[in-house]
Amino acid sequence: MAMLLLFFLLAVSVVSADEDAFIGVNLGTDLSNMPSPTQVVALLKAQNIRHVRLYDADQAMLLALANTGIQVTVAVPNDQLLGIGQSNATAANWVTRNVLAHVPATNITAIAVGSEVLTTLPNAAPVLVSALKFIHSALVASNLDRQIKVSTPHSSSVILDSFPPSQAFFNRSWDPVMVPLLKFLQSTGSYLMINVYPYYDYMQSNGVIPLDYALFRPLPPNKEAVDANTLLHYTNVFDALVDATYFAMSYLNFTNVPIVVTESGWPSKGDSAEPDATIENANTYNSNLIRHVLNNTGTPKHPGIAVSTYIYELYNEDLRPGSVSEKNWGLFNANGMPVYILHLTGAGTVLANDTTNQTFCVAKDGADPKMLQAALDWACGPGKVDCSPLLQGQPCYEPNNVVTHATYAFNAYFQQMAKSSGTCDFKGVATITTTDPSHGTCIVPGSVGKNGTIVNGTSLAPSSNSTSSGCLSQYFHGDGSFTSSVIVGILVLSAVLL
């Protein structure tokens, strides 16, 4: 489930590092649990996240990612693997629909074929390498094989005896798959994708692994784990698991295939059986992981070799089945509010934007237009919001639709009420977000303007002699009648004006 990614140039016999590591994020397995694709992309941009991994090739998300420059890993879901692994034509059609239809506007740089296939879908293992080859052949035919790499993520459980790392090896029963897979990755300049979860290793160690060792916390020298064969010192579980993967490949005589950790993270909440799934521990792990990766520290076996990482995951998945912890791996809640503020001083800009106080009230996706209109009229009337920026010719008039105008009015009310609890509801048609709804010359209250100052959201209430709050006719959109608490005469006038 967690995530890491590293891109290197291959040396003749050993892994070489000519590129800096990066931090990316996984978007989660169920996009229906998340905000709209445009809101997701807005959060990615606000947090300077330049690498993202999808668990499928969702068309709406790929369209939203177009022209952003964000590097995208798309995936062949497990339920499509058998068909693609048995048919070159099926693989070519998949690439046509899910890759060629989106590049170059959407910057797709990798395709993950399946997910943890050997451990979760072993009946598909015999066609796994064929599936990778068929997908790659389709990319070659379109001259995209240099831009887009093909691989498949594995659970770290495919590695046996992971400590000491120098004694690690892949489960021998999978050699008929792993050997041709590694040959394919080597010949195509791709990388081994591995999911690394120190949380699970810690949980399953029955107290053998110290919590501090799993969380990257500093250890005294006498507490560090030492590989007796290499005398390498390990200060954290993550490095030990990555090096175990390097050694397992070496055992099969592959020493020049880079590693991409496609998932890594820590849950922020769990039930009584998972007492260490806490906000504090999740924050500590992910903050230290990000710092460790972006510092290009590498591992004891390969110091200075970039190990780029995809964090699992961007959003909590409240509707996900399973244990409490399964729902709580996210860095953000679905409304864009951070679950916790990462401790990233000196770790660069990625995920370092504290959006806690940058919240806005917007019209909810799919809300009834008539209810939006009624709420808009209330905000511009009894709610005492200055809606003059919505008048024709003013900065927030365009686009002239009820959703955009309602968002402006809802947010202005929310800001002037100091974001008090219950002031962003409007009978269920509004929701709180960290995505700034400003657009073009329309800078909404509470937004950080181009000069870096926050547009005052507390001075929007019209004065006692203002008439703007009564001009509801100026903000009426739609073609139907509705009931609200505003003055009937004004509503009639609105209808006549339209």
Tell me if residue 263 is catalytic: yes
Q: Are strands 108-113 and 149-151 parallel, antiparallel or unpaired?
A: parallel
Q: How many CB atoms lie within 10 A of CB 147?
A: 14
**DSSP structure class, residue 485:** S
Contact status, residue 444 vs residue 408, Cβ threshold 8 Å:
yes
Per-residue exposure over 94-129, b if at least 16 CB sit within 10 Å of its own CB, e if not = bbeebbeebbeebbbbbbbbbbbbbbebeebbebbb
* Best CA proximity match to 166, nearest among 25, 300, 17, 341: 300
Residue of 19, 224, 263, 326 marked catalytic: 263
Return the amino acid letter for 62: L
Q: Which of 175, 181, 91 is nearest to 129 (CA)?
A: 181
- b/e 46-58 (16+ beta carbons within 10 angstroms → b): ebebbbbbbbbbb
- The CA–CA distances, whole Å, from 321 to 103, 329, 394, 423 equal 34, 13, 48, 32
Q: CA-based Rg of the chain, rounded to a whole angstrom? A: 26
Structure tokens at 54: 């999808």
280 given a catalytic annotation: no
- Tell me if 28 sits within 8 A of 53, measured CB to CB: no
- DSSP-derived letter for residue 462 is P
Q: Which of 19, 116, 224, 280 is catalytic?
A: 116
**Residues belonging to the active site:** 116, 263
